[in-house]
Amino acid sequence: MPEESTGGRGKTIQSVESALEVIEVIRRKERAGVTEITKELDRSKSTVHHYVTTLVKHDYLDKVDGEYQLSLRFLTLGGQVRERERLYHLGKDVVDELAHETGEQARLIVERNGSVITLYQATGDRVDEPITHVGSTEELHCTAAGKVFLAELSDAEIDAFLDEISFPSYTERTITDPGELRIELEEIRDLGVGFDDEERYKGYRCVAAAISTTESELFGALSISAPTDRMAEERFRTDVPNQLQNVAGVVEINTTYSEWTDVR
């Protein structure tokens, strides 16, 4: 019988957890060898080798020049997951229009398990290379959309979240002080938009607006990202926020009158 472990959500199978940890390391690093994975997970090389060999056999990993990367099977799985998301179907055309109108990178974002995930994105003609891709996972405390999701929580929920995270820093502008983040979340509650001023990616600013349901529940977020030289203060603080809020309102209307339902 496989070894079991007990956690807050009930019994789990240790070998499956270990395989998922291997996949997660490779996802974060994009490509990794056995030695690198071993150091990350504090496992023996032989154990890690067994896991990656099994994952290659079942077409979840590809081996390239002695290192491992996620296979295209994940693209198939991700596509199936995205197709069942109501927000994707209701918001993707709006994101395309935003990217065309602004010339920048526009994204449709959801929150899952304490992170924000890019559900869909489009790039305008001013973008040479997008800073994220579909499926990108980012922290809440240092992203515009993440702060929008945090601002929707109760004060008690925010306190619990801030007690749990380690505030990883990505640039010299990343907020790492809980008190400073709380102040910004209060501002977001008043404004209805969140800001990332070079906090996640150096040289880039991002603005995000919430998409809510008729029951005032947060459904997702829309965002626009651009280099700082194209996102000057007035555009950053006024023009883009207004544009995003107007477009988010259109998506909210679509959610009210659309017959589309999530496939669960």
**Terminal C-alpha separation, the chain:** 31
CB-facing half-sphere around the CA of 184: CA atoms within 13 A: 24
pLDDT of 245 reads: 96
- Taking the C-alpha atoms of residue 60 and residue 137, their distance in angstroms, rounded to an integer, is 19
pLDDT exceeds 50 at position 1:
no
Confidence of residue 260 (pLDDT cuts 50, 70, 90): low
Whether 9 shows a pLDDT value over 60: the answer reads no
Distance CA 239, CA 173 (A): 22
Cβ–Cβ under 8 Å, residues 23 and 54: no
Task: Please give the pLDDT value at position 264.
Answer: 40
Q: Which of 62, 59, 54, 53 is nearest to 73 (CA)?
A: 59
Asked whether the predicted pLDDT for residue 116 surpasses 60, the reply is: yes
What are the residue ranges spanned by the domains of the chain?
15-71, 81-257
Mean pLDDT of the chain: 90
Q: What is the pLDDT of residue 83?
A: 80
pLDDT > 80? residue 30: yes
Nearest to 132 by CA among 149, 118, 142, 144: 118
Average pLDDT over residues 74-93: 86
pLDDT of 202 higher than 80? yes
Measuring CA to CA, which residue among 66, 15, 76, 2 is closest to residue 37? 66
Q: DSSP secondary structure string, 211-239?
A: EE-TTS-EEEEEEEEEETTTS-HHIIIII
The reported pLDDT for the residue numbered 77 is 87
218-227 and 204-212 beta bridge pairing: antiparallel
Tokens of 244: 């995003």
CATH topology of domain 81-257: Beta-Lactamase (3.30.450)
Q: Would you say residue 186 has pLDDT above 90?
A: yes
Say whether 109 sits in a helix, a strand or coil.
Answer: strand
pLDDT higher than 60, residue 91: yes
Mean pLDDT on 10-23? 89
The proportion of the chain whose per-residue pLDDT surpasses 70, expressed as a percent, equals: 92
Do 15-71 and 81-257 show the same overall fold?
no
At 203-249, the pLDDT tens digits run 999 999 999 876 667 889 999 999 999 999 999 999 999 999 999 99
Query: Which residue, 3, 58, 6, 51, is CA-closest to 26?
Result: 51
Which are the contacts of 8, defined by CB distance < 8 A and separation ≥ 6?
none
Contacts of 79 (CB under 8 A, 6+ apart): none
Mean pLDDT of 61-71: 94
* pLDDT score recorded for residue 137: 92
pTM of the model: 0.81
- CA–CA dist 46, 224 (Å, integer): 45
For residue 240, give the amino acid letter. V
The domain 15-71 having CATH identifier 1.10.10.10: the answer here is yes
Pair of tokens at residue 77:
């799985």
Cα-trace Rg, the chain: 20
pLDDT for the residue numbered 125: 97
pLDDT at 2: 47
